[in-house]
Amino acid sequence: MNERKIENLKTGTTTLGIMFTGGVVLAAERKATMGYLVASKHTRKIVKLTNRLGMTIAGSVGDAQALERYMRAEIKLYEMQEDRKMPVKSVATLVSNILYSRSYFPYYVQLLIGGMDKEARLFSFDPSGSVIEEKEYFSTGSGSVMALGVLENQFKKGMDMESAKKLAVRAVKAATERDIASGGSGIDLVVIDRNGFHEISNEEVKKLLE
């Protein structure tokens, strides 16, 4: 195993997505690590790709940033050529193809893409290009085991937005308390619905945790 693989195996994160009636919630903690070193407590792990499309990132920061730039360019090119918004399913297929094309020198990332067309969609990816549409929820990163335990126990089909927001921050909080590679100074929370991409303020996130 080469040095690059060893370094990335030590990188930890907790991100998640939850479907609710009318949209999708994305959440992530903010710690970035380099082995046993906390490199940053303020890393943004939810990327806004368009005003109705977001991506969560777990894994190598450099690979994630390169992939983000690639995706933004491809989405913009599609919209210029087709004169319409790129469907969430098409974005998911594009990401899958990009990841698969790099199978011999892969991006060391685990991704979630959530967005809104006529209805909300949520997709999960692994570094090999595998893509799965999630109908309820999913979590990525080293803290995902703890987060999924909370989600499995408390998720209900047909949840409203407020219930999904509360569950998202509870699940990420549970992961930060048990996974040494997850944490940082707060939780990022995003709602994507028919009104677009909305970042929830730190103050509201703190209230949701009370």
Set 11, 13, 33, 50: catalytic member: 13
C-alpha–C-alpha distance, residues 188 and 25, integer Å: 11
Torsion, CA 200, CA 159, CA 110, CA 113, rounded to 10: -70
C-alpha–C-alpha distance, residues 88 and 27, integer Å: 18
- Locate the DSSP E strands across the chain: 15-20, 23-29, 32-34, 37-40, 46-50, 53-59, 109-116, 120-125, 131-133, 137-140, 187-193, 196-199
Query: Per the structure block, which two tokens stand in for 81?
Result: 């050529």
At residue 58, what is the residue type?
Answer: A
C-alpha–C-alpha distance, residues 154 and 80, integer Å: 42
DSSP H or E run through 28: strand 23-29
C-alpha–C-alpha distance, residues 26 and 53, integer Å: 11
13 counts as catalytic: yes
Give the active site residues: 13
